Amino acid sequence: MKTYKNIQFEINEGVAIITLNRTDVLNSFNFEMADDTIDALKYSRDEKIIRAIVLTANGKGFCAGQDLEEATGENGPNIEDSPNTITKAGEEFKSTTIFKFSW
């Protein structure tokens, strides 16, 4: 299974667990973390043994939102410019998917 820089990903008894892991910035999303999360979601969608997905986070906060340091930098990216948003990845699931947000 693939390892990621900004998230932890594991499968336990048919449950995929995606753990946000940028604790130094309260797990704020940058494009790299979004890409990691999308990749793990797509893997979970395609893997037959996965029946549920848990989205959780390490550290004090679940997620502070978009990483403003990245977003406000000169010529910084805009979330609308990304063709692979997490929302779009979630829409690709063919069956009912439940995300459990826990902190």
**How confident is the model over 53-102, as pLDDT tens digits?**
888 999 998 988 888 887 777 766 665 655 556 666 666 665 445 555 55
Structural domain count, the chain: 1
Does a structural domain hold residue 2?
no
51 domain-assigned:
yes
Residue 30 belongs to some domain of the structure:
yes
Q: Looking at residue 93, which CATH number applies to its domain?
A: 3.90.226.10
Domain assignment present for residue 76? The answer is yes
- Owning domain of residue 84: 7-101
Q: Looking at the domain assignment, is residue 33 inside a domain?
A: yes
Whole-angstrom Cα distance, residue 63 to residue 60?
A: 9
Task: Report the predicted TM-score, pTM, of the whole model to 2 decimal places.
Answer: 0.77
Q: Is residue 1 part of a domain?
A: no
Give the residue among 60, 59, 66 at the shortest CA–CA distance from 82. Answer: 66
